Amino acid sequence: MGDQFLQYVLNGILSGGILALPAIAFSLLYGILRFPNFAIGTYITAGGFIAYAANVTLGLPIPLAFLLTMVLCGFLGVGVDQLAFRPMRERRPLTLAIVSIGVSFILENMARFIWGNDLRSYNLPVQRGMEWGGVRIGKEQLIILLVSLIFMVWVQLLLKYSRLGKSMRAVADNPMLASVKGIDSEGIIFRTSYLGAALTGAAGIMVGIDTAIDPLMGFKLILSIFAAAILGGIGSATTAVGGAFFVGFAEEVSMIWLPATYKSAIGFGMIVLVLLFRPAGLFRRTQVI
Amino acid sequence: MINYFIAILTFVMIYAILSLGLNVQWGFTGLVNLGHVGFFAVGAYTSAILAKLGFPFIFTLAAAVLLAALFGSLLALTTLRLKEDFLAIVTLGFSEILRLFLLNETWLTGGANGIIAIPRPIWQYIAKHYDLFYLLILSVVLVLLFLFLERLRLSPYGRMLRAIRDDELVAAVAGKNVFRSKVQAFSLGAALAGLAGVFYAHYLSYIAPDMFIPLVTINVWVALIAGGSGNNKGAILGAFVLLSFLESTRFLKDFIPILSGFRLAAVREILVGLFLILLMIYRQEGVLPEEKIQHG
């Protein structure tokens, strides 16, 4: 039982690492645009399939496919923002939330149209997992976790020290003041859309390596991503990471008692509990985004 | 051919009830509901399960509508004091978790196989023209609902809901209990979705979890926005528009040969999504915009 518990904890850390990037992206976008973007889920799907095309169809090695996917997903995010969200900047945020659902339907079905509903996987050499004292971990999973951690740190540094990060925080904190100070808010939205979709696309490959690639791979994670962002106190990219690990951990450990099919119900349950008892999130907020 | 039209009209009526429900929530009160299909499913499954246990139709209908309303109030009570974004997330979550429940709790719901041979009310007396009879009953229900909702819209209560939608703060300052009214409006919308579910289940006499996917919610949004949000006639017209749209795209495969199986389904869903976005951007008021009411 002890070993088994450790295994679940480890799995929790791994899924937290995968959830963290989309949760950061969701929080960044929410901070700037002020609506819950449901299209985040399909950016995962898009990332998974773009990497599939690069890796399997074109035969590129995974690291190269990874970079290509991030670049292309960024453009996808910008394209979606320009075509679907930009004409509606002045509307009620909820109208945009509905539009984002429409976007996610379109993207998911474009993937379905091209690749169908089958489960797919990347061309990866089969590697032996490592094992210490009954706890197993795959080499790919370790790399995923490491890459994800690097990106988390990078985003934090970007937000804290770079000019872009400071402008993003300024727009999130007070758009009016930011524009008075001469910050070009459309430019910030453009770059945040790129960054958010690129990070989420990266998570898409991770999901694809860890499980499988299919048109619903992103939508299935949307509740967990929202749960992570809400636990982190919606709109904060720093605490979203904490939220992601918390949700990942809770989902995996709950598998000790619950059938695996109910995994995403854990995320939902946590959303409801947090909303009822701690609507500002689990952590004390110190800064915007 | 005539049977085909009866079937289509039956689905139009069911979608019209769904759309009227969403209209109470979004059109009148401005509450977002991305899990409408969840309440539809609660209605369908509750009525089907009770009917299989031998309860009479009137009883199963009442129980189903009440349970859908109860779920609606619980979700609204949980989230409506907070930012409205949360309602969007929680309603979507509710409908997805409910679908997981329907898939997994085979002892109650039949799992992926669903529930078959759901009794059709008073079938034994009128088996010959049953579908036509069912359509008539449904039309009567729809007309009564329409009259009720029109009265609601024109009443002081309806005016209060619009006030909450347009400026919550002003409504609160005017002494209206904003939170309570929102919970009521949301529950009423959920109850209507439940009612639509009852008619759906007993019409098909078969239900399964894959009929209650988020696509249904999107369809209802398309219907409402196309017809005219805030306008009851628009909500019903929207159901006609939607079903015409869906039925006409069904024939796409006759013209475009590569569209087969999953590809056709994908193209139709892309079109529905596109239609929704274009409506939202360019014609948010729909075919029949909300009528201005002069309060004298």
Q: Which of B246, B210, B19 is nearest to B112 (CA)?
A: B210
Cβ B281–A98 below 8 Å, yes or no? no
Measured between alpha carbons, how far apart are the two ends of chain B, in Å? 50
Say how many CA atoms lie within 13 Å of B50 toward its Cβ: 20
With respect to residue A164, please indicate whether it lies within any of the assigned structural domains. yes
DSSP assignments along chain B, one per residue: -HHHHHHHHHHHHHHHHHHHHHIIIIIIT----S-HHHHHHHHHHHHHHHHHTT--HHHHHHHHHHHHHHHHHHHHHHHTTS-THHHHHHHHHHHHHHHHHHHH-HHHH-GGG-EE-PPPTTGGGS-TTHHHHHHHHHHHHHHHHHHHHHHHHHSHHHHHHHHHHH-HHHHHHTT--HHHHHHHHHHHHHHHHHHHHHHHHHHHSEE-GGGSSHHHHHHHHHHHHHH-TT-HHHHHHHHHHHHHHHHHHTTHHHH-TT--THHHHHHHHHHHHHHHHHHHHH-TT-SSPPPP----
- How many domains does chain A divide into? 1
The CATH number of the domain holding residue A266 is 1.10.3470
Write down the pTM of the prediction: 0.92
| Cβ–Cβ under 8 Å, residues B156 and B171 | no
3-state secondary structure chain A: CHHHHHHHHHHHHHHHHHHHHHHHHHHHHHHHHCCCCCCHHHHHHHHHHHHHHHHHHCCCCHHHHHHHHHHHHHHHHHHHHHHHHHHHCCCCHHHHHHHHHHHHHHHHHHHHHHHCCCCECCCCCCCCCEEECCEEECHHHHHHHHHHHHHHHHHHHHHHHCHHHHHHHHHHHCHHHHHHCCCCHHHHHHHHHHHHHHHHHHHHHHHHHHCCECCCCCHHHHHHHHHHHHHCCCCCHHHHHHHHHHHHHHHHHHCCCCCHHHHHHHHHHHHHHHHHHCCCCCCCCCCCC
Cβ B85–A234 below 8 Å, yes or no? yes
Predicted local distance difference test score (pLDDT) of residue A284: 57
Q: Mind listing the pLDDT tens digit for each residue in A239-254?
A: 899 999 999 999 999 9
Cβ B277–A275 below 8 Å, yes or no? no
B277 to chain A: closest CA residue: A99
Which of A101, A214, A220, A222 is the best residue to mutate to test the B interface, defined by the most B CB atoms within 10 Å of its own CB? A101
Which of A49, A98, A261, A262 is the best residue to mutate to test the B interface, defined by the most B CB atoms within 10 Å of its own CB? A98
With respect to residue A142, please indicate whether it lies within any of the assigned structural domains. no
With respect to residue A73, please indicate whether it lies within any of the assigned structural domains. yes
Cβ B32–A98 below 8 Å, yes or no? yes
| Cβ–Cβ under 8 Å, residues B239 and B227 | yes
| Residue ranges making up the domain that contains A31 | 2-119+149-277
Residues of chain A with pLDDT under 70: 1-2, 284-289
Q: Which of B92, B263, B273 sits opposite A105 (nearest CB)?
A: B273
With respect to residue A139, please indicate whether it lies within any of the assigned structural domains. no
- Residues of A within 8 A of B265 (CB-CB) are 109, 112
| Cβ–Cβ under 8 Å, residues B219 and B11 | no
What are the residue ranges spanned by the domains of chain B? Answer: 2-213
- Residues of B within 8 A of A259 (CB-CB) are 104
Residues of chain B with pLDDT under 70: 294-296
- Residues of B within 8 A of A112 (CB-CB) are 262, 265-266, 269
Q: Which of A35, A91, A261 sits opposite B104 (nearest CB)?
A: A261
- CB-based contact, A188 to chain B, within 8 Å: no
Calpha distance B17→B91 (Å, rounded): 19
The CA distances from residue A272 to A231, B75, B86, B94, in Å, are 10, 9, 10, 10
- Residues of A within 8 A of B262 (CB-CB) are 112-113, 116-117
- CB-based contact, A266 to chain B, within 8 Å: no
With respect to residue A64, please indicate whether it lies within any of the assigned structural domains. yes
Predicted local distance difference test score (pLDDT) of residue B115: 96
Calpha distance B82→B250 (Å, rounded): 42
Please, which residues 116-145 of chain A have a Cβ atom closer than 8 Å to chain B?
Answer: 116-117
Q: Which of B123, B1, B87, B286 is nearest to A97 (CA)?
A: B87
Sign of CA dihedral A142, A145, A150, A153: negative
Query: How near does any CA of chain A get to the CA of B146, in Å?
Result: 26
- CB-based contact, A38 to chain B, within 8 Å: yes
Predicted local distance difference test score (pLDDT) of residue A131: 80
